[in-house]
Amino acid sequence: LAGAGAAAGVSLPGGRAAAQVQRTLFADSHYQPAVEPLQLGKMAAEKGILYGTCVSPQRLPPSPAQWDTAPYSEMVKRQATIITNAGMHFDLVEPAQGQFNFVTPDRVAEFALGNGLQMRGHALCWYQHFPKWMAELDRDTAIRAIEDHIGAVVGHYAGKVHSWDVVNEALNPNDRAPNAMRVSGF
């Protein structure tokens, strides 16, 4: 795909190595730079690879009617075959225990499904999005809350999500925990 970037005008280190990468990546591709716009997702799919990006909900146009004309959504649709839904974080979806708000991630899901893209769910548990309300819970109640959260979110998106990031960035040897687990609320 680095060669595809070069064809799109993205600068790469010069020399024979870059040229070899480009020849290798384009060797089995049906892509014709002079005839069609670059489509990285299509090229990757020819090699059996899902290629995509994380979609920022704030960057999507407010209305599905604008998805065909807005530069950001048009670029995502042209280049990706799978997107990561960046609006699914624990503290965003469940800002208070048992109170779920799926408005933002549903908008990204609607974009993905409405445009024939697969969607990756991100992330059910991630230290950067640990909900503040959970810090006050005892261990057993917190475990039940995590299980309830995962069940509710996965259930809400059943049949719509290709794959999930269940636990994101769980390890951090720099935290010096004996098992290399990240020291966090989780």
Contacts of residue 138, Cβ cutoff 8 Å, sequence gap at least 6:
none
Which residue's entry shows tokens 């794959």? 163
Separation between Cα atoms, residue 71 and residue 177, nearest integer Å: 45
Check the CA dihedral 162-86-115-4 and report its sign. Answer: negative
pLDDT value of position 35: 73
* Assigned token pair, 35: 């005839």
* Assigned token pair, 123: 């992330």
pLDDT value of position 121: 95
Residue 11 backbone dihedrals phi, psi, to 5 degrees:
-75, 135
Over the chain (186 residues), the average pLDDT of each successive run of 10 is: 43 54 62 74 90 90 86 92 94 97 95 95 95 96 97 97 94 91 91
DSSP state of 56: P
Which residue's entry shows tokens 């280190």? 13
The strands making up 82-85's β-sheet, listed across from edge to edge, are: 52-55, 82-85, 118-126, 163-168
DSSP string computed for 105-163: HHHHHHHHHHTT-EEEEEEEEEGGG--GGGGGS-HHHHHHHHHHHHHHHHHHTTTT-SE
